[in-house]
């Protein structure tokens, strides 16, 4: 979730982030992995391509409708609802909870977001 298209180009890679994630997820499945860690932006593609064969764990979760305002060092962020609605099985939430004055409210808001999808 901390790499964008420009980072791949800087490393000399010509694939898009989505293509690279899908390639690596297919390879992980072939090698016997049960799941992958993936941005919520790629979760729908992985779910469409691989069905329920693979668990998808999505970090870079941020609360609120405008996730780009609270990205920190993450480049590929989504809300909890977007991640689960897009096919992720699990979400990983860190700073929005640990830096909050009211972590319970943040969790309740994320739960409501998930249930809205």
Q: Is 105 annotated as a binding residue?
A: no
Query: SS3 sequence, the chain?
Result: CCCCHHHHHHCCCCCCHHHHHHHHHHHHHHCCCCEEECCCCCHHHHHHHHHHHCEEEECCECCCCCHHHHCCCCCCCECHHHHHHCCCCEECCCHHHHCCCCHHHHHHHHHHHHHCC
Q: Is 94 annotated as a binding residue?
A: yes
Q: Is 62 annotated as a binding residue?
A: yes
Q: At how many degrees (to 10) do helices 17-30 and 43-50 cross?
A: 40
Q: Is 27 annotated as a binding residue?
A: no
Maximum CA extent, the chain: 44
- Output the known binding site for substrate: 1, 62, 74, 94-95
- Output the known binding site: 1, 62, 74, 94-95
């Amino acid at each position: 979730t901390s790499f964008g298209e420009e980072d791949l180009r800087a490393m000399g890679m010509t694939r898009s982030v989505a293509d690279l994630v899908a390639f690596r997820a297919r390879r992980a499945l072939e090698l016997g992995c049960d799941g992958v860690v993936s941005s919520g932006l790629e979760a729908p593609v992985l779910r469409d391509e691989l069905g329920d064969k693979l668990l998808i764990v999505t970090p870079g979760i941020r609360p609120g409708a405008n996730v780009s305002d609270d990205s920190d060092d993450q480049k590929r962020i989504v809300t909890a609802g977007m991640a689960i609605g897009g096919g992720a099985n699990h979400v990983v939430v860190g700073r929005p909870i640990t830096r909050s004055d009211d972590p319970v409210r943040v969790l309740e808001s994320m739960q409501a977001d998930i249930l809205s999808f």
